[in-house]
Amino acid sequence: MVSKTTGVQRRILMKLGKYKHYKGKIVEVVGVGKHSETLENFVIYKEGKNLWLRPEKMFKEKVIVNDKAVPRFKYLKEKGSDKI
């Protein structure tokens, strides 16, 4: 995938598997993709029966909870693995 501004290929580095949202819900990252117009990176994840898209930058950012910076999503385990 090539960036329009720099011409540099940039892959989305994202482990597939279970993540815990900072509010407590467990989600499963099932894929990654790019916006067809802006080439912005997106993470595709499943929560229950719903599929969601979130910009990669937002998925990986930290949020402030009780005056402490914590990951929005914390990696728990690989897809298909019973280990946490």
Cβ atoms < 10 Å from Cβ of 33: 14
Closest CA to 45 of 37, 35, 55, 36: 55
Contact 14, 29 (CB under 8 A): yes
Q: What's the pTM value of the predicted model, to 2 decimals?
A: 0.76
Q: Report pLDDT for 81.
A: 57
**67 CB-contact burial (10 Å; exposed 0-12 / middle 13-18 / buried 19+):** exposed
Q: Which domains does the chain have, with CATH numbers?
A: 17-78 (2.30.30.320)
pLDDT in tens, 45-60: 999 999 999 999 999 9
Q: Report pLDDT for 50.
A: 96
Q: With a cut of 50, which residues of the chain have pLDDT below it?
A: 1-9, 84
